[in-house]
């Protein structure tokens, strides 16, 4: 149940550093850090532009129905992971 009191308690807990050793993320660095994490020029930025279908069988059926070839990106791990 949301309360303003709980907001106050939480802020006091954070201010006291209760059970929280990690450094807080500064508000004014939020956009900068996000930009550093995102795929950069020279990395696979455009992989995210592709309208991947979920399964190979679905791709087969759609390719047959649309009269298109299938582009198969074979990865050794999570399809959009890292290797």
Partner 1 sequence: MGGGNRSGFFKNPENAALITNHCVPVAIDTYRAGRATDAEAEFGERVSENATNNFTLVTADGKVLGSCLRESLASLLEKWNALPAEQRQPGAIKVPELRGRDARWAWADPPAGSIVLKVFARNLKRDGDAHLVRGDYLYPKSWPSKDAYRDSLWITRSEWQALVPKNPQSGDVVNVPDTLRQRVFRFCLNERFRTYDRPWKPDELRGGKISVTVNEVSKTRVRLRFDGFASIASDADTRMATNGYDGSLLGWLEYDRDKQQFTRFDVLALGESWWNEPSSDPAFAELFAKNFGRITVGVSFQLAPPGSGFARIPPGSHFAWSKRKDYLGKSPEE
Among residues 49, 71, 75, 73, the alpha carbon closest in space to that of 62 is found at 71
Contact 59, 70 (CB under 8 A): yes
| Cα 53 from Cα 30, distance rounded (Å) | 32
| Site for partner 1 contains 15 (CB under 8 A) | no
Compute the least distance from the CB of residue 13 to partner 1, in Å: 9
| Site for partner 1 contains 12 (CB under 8 A) | no
Contact 51, 61 (CB under 8 A): no
Compute the least distance from the CB of residue 18 to partner 1, in Å: 10
Interacting residue with partner 1 among 15, 16, 28, 72 (CB under 8 A)? 72
Please give the residue ranges that form the binding site for partner 1 (CB under 8 A).
2-4, 6-7, 10, 14, 19-25, 27, 29-30, 32-34, 36-83
């Amino acid at each position: 149940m949301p309360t303003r009191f709980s907001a106050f308690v939480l802020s006091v807990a954070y201010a006291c550093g209760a059970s929280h050793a990690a450094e807080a993320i500064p508000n004014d660095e939020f956009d900068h850090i996000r930009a550093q994490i995102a795929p950069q020029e020279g990395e696979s930025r455009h992989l995210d532009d592709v309208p991947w279908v979920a399964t190979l069988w679905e791709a087969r059926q759609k390719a047959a129905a649309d009269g298109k070839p299938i582009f198969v990106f074979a990865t050794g791990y999570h399809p959009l992971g890292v290797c």
